[in-house]
Amino acid sequence: MLNLNGSLTKAGVRYSTLWSGDFTDAFFLKGLRTWLVKGRLTHPVTHVKPLANARVPARAAATARALAQDLRGRKAIMGVFDEGCMGMYNAILPDELLFPTGVYKERLSQSALYYGATQVAEAEARAVYDWLKAKGMRFHTGPDEATDLTERQILWQCRTYIAALRIADDFGCATIGIQYQQGLKDLLPASDLAEGLLNNSDRPPVRNRLGKVILPGRPLPHFNEVDECSGLDGLLTNRVHTALKQPVETTLHDLRWGDFDQSGTIRDYVWVFLISGSAPPAHHIGGYAGTDSLRQPPMYFRLGGGTVRGVAKPGEIIWSRIFVEAGKLKMDLGRAQVVTLPKEETARRWKETTEQWPIMHAVTYGVSRDQMMARHKANHIQVVYARNAKDADLALYTKAALARELGVEVYLCGTRADGSAF
């Protein structure tokens, strides 16, 4: 529904949206009555504040100006492996809106990625696989190609990881996006292992065609399902967190659903942020040792391939979303906390979604379920950690100020961790 909302918003189509857990609650019935009578339903979004009405800290503003000047001067390239995925019209940034930010598209072909994977020697692929196992990552393998994760599938995933890095290096890409679900799904095992590793600072080394290690100790931000809004967001996040010496691993998640904690451990409403295959291991409890890989569901992934699964570690995060409205680039940002739930509650949430995929338990500060549903313009949400609440607030302001410097219309959503307004 949120993907549809984002697409209709980009297209300039007027719409009304209503949601419910079981379609019997007062909120739903009142909303439905209003729509039936008036033909339109508008939800309050009082939690949203234009950045223009907020006081940006001097350090955040100065850092943003320097980063914007650098980006305008040196530009950056977004590598897009075939635009458009699963009908996500809202995930395609028009060139005329993107280019003024200093970021340019390199339209790449997934046929080149497939060919590149076929050119990777098995010894190179096995070196990546061995590196991951030495780090403690667990692979749940079996003998049946049709239903199990197999070593053959994993090695092809490792080849895809190597090929993606080399193509990005060839074209000078600062960020790339692979839309595996269309095209590659008929040629290769899932790209999730590659995607999760690309977003991690600590990852298997890969040498380019001249023998030099590509981006040693640094991620190559990857945007899942070629969501270019997340691609631009991830690139800006990487620049900001590098400058502030904060954790740089970033990823999008699907904003799946939410519920109150059935165990009663956490009193707040807890969102299920869950991406369809991989998150950077640095986000997981235990890092690589807390990360495992399960075969992607055969219904969606005929050729198999493993995920990069884990439970997100507790901590302070910044969430954000870039979207298109009224012919303009806009950005929402907010703060949240990743909480720890009992194993039984995590298992319940996994079983209600997809157990093979990584999960994050998130509590958004000052943004209720209905406020998030009323405002958010995508099924995707970008997240990144900071070391503590104070650092997270500074990172939020800095990214907001950077986006504004680049011509994006910026809004702050909700509150800080202590409940105070931005």
Helix (H) or strand (E) holding 325: strand 315-325
In-domain check, residue 282:
yes
In-domain check, residue 181:
no
Helical H segments across 184-263, by residue range: 192-198, 228-244
In-domain check, residue 166:
no
Kindly compute the dihedral angle of the four CA atoms of residues 377, 380, 384, 388, in this order, to the nearest 10 degrees. 60
Residue 188 pairs with which residues in a beta bridge?
none
User: What pTM does this model have?
Assistant: 0.97
In-domain check, residue 308:
yes
**Burial track 203-241 (b if 16+ CB lie within 10 A, e otherwise):** bbebeeeeeeeebeeebbbbbbbbbbbbbbbbbbbbbbb
User: CATH no. for residue 369?
Assistant: 3.20.14.10
In-domain check, residue 376:
yes
- Number of domains composing the chain: 1
Contact in structure between 123 and 276 (CB atoms under 8 Å):
no
Cα four-point dihedral sign 223, 226, 228, 229 = negative
Q: Please state, in angstroms and rounded to a whole number, the distance separating the CA atoms of residues 261 and 340.
A: 10
Cα four-point dihedral sign 129, 133, 137, 140 = positive
pLDDT of residue 181: 77
In-domain check, residue 179:
no
- Interaxial angle between packed helices 151-171 and 110-118, expressed in degrees from 0 to 180 and rounded to the nearest 10: 120
CB atoms within 10 A of CB 258: 21
DSSP letter for 311, please: B
C-alpha closest to that of 276 among 192, 197, 187, 184: 192
CA distances from 273 to 297, 345, 412 (A): 19, 14, 20
Cα four-point dihedral sign 271, 392, 232, 404 = positive
**Burial track 269-285 (b if 16+ CB lie within 10 A, e otherwise):** bbbbbbbbbbbbbbbbe
In-domain check, residue 2:
no
Q: Which residue positions in the chain have pLDDT lower than 70? A: none
Q: Which domain holds residue 374?
A: 43-108+221-413
How many residues belong to the chain? Answer: 422
pLDDT of residue 84: 85
